[in-house]
Amino acid sequence: MAHPIMFDDADPVLGRVRQIALALPNATEVIAHGRPTFRCGKMFGNYGGSVKGSKMRHDQSILFIADPSERPALKSDSRVFLPAYLGAYGWLGLILDDATDWDEVAELLDASYRQVASRRSIAELDARGLP
């Protein structure tokens, strides 16, 4: 049985996330477990998720692989949560809302991408000269 779709394609927040994630070299979007995921071979982003150990869902959030050196600081942020299933593997979730700093989202997705992308894809990203 397929998972139910848990997002709205017309969601403007999802549109912003897609714009950021799919601008990374060789990034693709795949629907998995009813949610959009962003991949470069392996998954580096997931739109929406639930809090580990609860039934609380954050449908407008981005799940990402936290840079190990930044993880403690990120976990102390009230907008950040430990996601169900992926949290045990170094992933965190960031709640997205009207006050979202989209540069921060881009930085978090960039750092997550760099943890799974091939050397060739990272070199292509670095050659663009963008932060």
Q: Tens digits of per-residue pLDDT, 33-72?
A: 999 999 999 999 999 999 999 989 999 999 999 999 999 9
The pLDDT tens digits of the residues spanning 8-27 come to 999 999 999 999 999 999 99
Tell me, yes or no, whether 35 lies in a domain: yes
Is the pLDDT at 129 greater than 90? The verdict is no
First to last CA, the chain: 42
Q: For the chain, what is the radius of gyration of the CA atoms?
A: 14
Q: What type of residue sits at position 98? A: D
Q: What is the CATH number of the domain that holds 61?
A: 3.90.1150.30
Q: Where are the alpha helices (DSSP H) in the chain?
A: 12-21, 71-75, 102-116, 119-127
102 DSSP 8-state letter: H
Token code pair at residue 81: 């949560």
Residue 1 falls inside a structural domain: no
pTM: 0.95
pLDDT at 131: 52
Domains of the chain: total? 1
Residue 128 lies in a domain: no
Degrees, nearest 5: CA angle 47-24-125: 145
Domain extent at residue 65: 12-122
CA distance 96 to 118: 28
Domain membership of residue 93 (yes or no) is yes
